[in-house]
Structure 1
């Protein structure tokens, strides 16, 4: 039984605070969360449920530990419920309580620890506090996207840069809208090839963000100037803005090579992060995949502190 939620956090007067919600049906205090809709991905569900319960729009930050516990299903059987959590920052919203929530409170972490009704909810709080102490809680997303499935090269007799997505690729491009929205991507860099533009355009149209076409992210441009893709990544790291970079499998090595020295391989979860990153690199990402790198700091100080893979279904 999959569900997703967030731990909204802020620093108020120098004190780290988190937002808890109260559910009158259960008379408990917990994190905003809820079940995935049919076909929905985890990250969009976390952002959606937070908004639906609190009226707050949030940008997902680094992932936090899952919660797993047994509960009764509608049929009376016992099943495992899995809830995935993310740290999140509030970026807007009306703040009106909805969807079976009658109270939301911002509390410092000590009070929140005692207020939580379930011991399992303290695992996420401890991870959030630890990240804050390490300086890796305040992050921004750099998302690498491989273009979705295009028509086979052998079936296309015209200029390869004009080769479009096939039907499954167009479906995946639409499915990327809620994924990129959950991280509130505000800048888009893309190869000028049509299959990349077609992959990122649905989100660009939905968000009103004009994609910036970069020849260095195309296969042809990369072949002519192999260093340009890495230069685009470095400039994105200097800028520190939530960004999506859409490119091709043959260019992916250069993009990920520019990111790999920024991996912070210390602390809990670093081994899993490295394994996830290396697996994605070795596969050149799956077509239509979004690799989310959570970056703390900018420029020379930029460090990737968490990595997520959002694969097409």
Structure 2
């Protein structure tokens, strides 16, 4: 039984606070969460459920420990429930309670720990406090996307830069829209090749963002000047704005090498992050994959503190 949720957080007067919700049906205090809709991505569900339960829009940050426990199904049978969580920053919303929740409370860490009704909910709180203490809670997403499936080169007789997505590629481009929205992406950068631009264009249109094209991210531009693609990533790290950058398989090696050099290793999450990133590098990302790099800091101080692979 898959579900997803968030731990909304803020810092007020130097004090870390988190948002709890109260469910009158169970008379309990917990995190905003809910079941995945059929075919829904975990991250999309987490952001959606947060809005539906609190009336607040959130931007997903780094993932937190998941929860696993046994529940009774409607048929009275025992079933395993898995809930994935993300730290989340509130970005907007009306705050009206509309769905199964009758109260919310912003509490400091000590108050929240005491009010949570379930021991497994405290795992996320402990993790949140740890990364906050390490200065790695306030992050922004740099999402690297390899263009989705395109019409085969052998079936295309015109300029390769004009080669479009095929039907599956267009489906994947549409599926990326709610994923990128969950991470609050506000900047879209792409190779000017049609197959790249059309992979991120549905999101850009949905979010009202003007996509920016960079010749150095194209296969042709990369072949002429490999260092240009790397300079684009360095520029994005200096800007420190939630961004998606879409490029091609041959370019991915250098893009990921730059980000790999920024991995913040040494913490308890290092092994999992390093393994996921190494596999992404080996694959050069799959076509239509989105690699979410959660970055703390900017410029030369920027460090990738968590990574997630969203596979097609």
TM-score (norm 1): 0.99
Q: CA deviation at 1:74?
A: 2.3
Please show how residues 39-54 of structure 1 align to structure 2 within 5 Å. Answer: 39-54=39-54
**1:281, distance to aligned residue in structure 2 (A):** 0.7
Output aligned runs, 1:116-135, within 5 Å: 116-135=116-135
Query: SS in structure 2 opposite 1:67?
Result: strand
SS at match of 2:244: strand
Aligned mates of 2:170, 2:90 — CA distance in 1: 31
**CA separation in 2, counterparts of 1:110 and 1:41?**
32
Deviation for aligned residue 1:76: 2.4
Aligned to 1:60: 60
List aligned pairs for 1:205-284, cutoff 5 A.
205-284=205-284
> Relative to structure 2, which stretch is displaced further, 257-266 or 69-78?
69-78
Match of 2:181 in 1: 181
Residue segments in structure 1 that go unaligned for 5+ positions in a row:
none
Structure 2: runs of 5+ lacking an equivalent: none
What's the CA shift string for 1:137-175, capped at 9, x where partnerless?
A: 000000000000001111111111111000000000000
Q: CA deviation at 1:120?
A: 0.2
Deviation at 1:13, TM superposition (A): 1.2
Question: What SS is found at the alignment partner of 2:261?
Answer: helix
Q: Which whole-Å CA distance do the structure 1 matches of 2:51 and 2:274 have between them?
A: 32
Distance 1:17 1:10 in 2: 5
- 1:159-207 CA deviation, whole Å, 9 max, x = no partner? 1111100000000000000000001101111000000011010001101
Distance in 2 of aligned mates of 1:74 and 1:22: 22
Query: 3-state DSSP class of the match of 1:48?
Result: helix
Tell me, what secondary structure is at the counterpart of 2:38?
coil
Using the alignment, how far apart are the partners of 2:41 and 2:124 within structure 1? 20
The answer to whether residue 133 in structure 2 is matched with residue 156 in structure 1 is no
Following the alignment from structure 2 to structure 1, what is the Cα–Cα distance between the partners of residues 200 and 27?
Answer: 43
Q: CA deviation at 1:217?
A: 0.3
Counterpart secondary structure, 1:131: helix
Moved over 3 A (4+): none
Query: Residue 141 of structure 2: SS of its match in structure 1?
Result: strand
Could you tell me how far 1:71 is from its partner in structure 2? 1.0
TM-score (norm 2): 0.99
| Equivalent residue number for residue 113 of structure 2 | 113
CA RMSD of aligned residues (A): 0.6
Over residues 264-287 of structure 1, what are the superposed CA-to-partner deviations in whole Å (9 max), with x where a residue is unaligned?
011111111000001001101011
Q: Which residue matches 1:298?
A: 298
**What whole-Å deviation, never above 9, does each CA across 1:22-61 have from its counterpart, x for those lacking one?**
0000000000000001111000100000000000000000
Q: How many pairs does the alignment contain? A: 312
Query: In 1, Cα distance between the equivalents of 2:28 and 2:266?
Result: 36
Please state how far the C-alpha of 1:75 moved relative to its aligned partner: 2.6
Separation in 2, partners of 1:172, 1:77:
36
SS at structure 1 position matched to 2:83: strand
Q: Distance in 1 between matches of 2:172 and 2:28?
A: 38
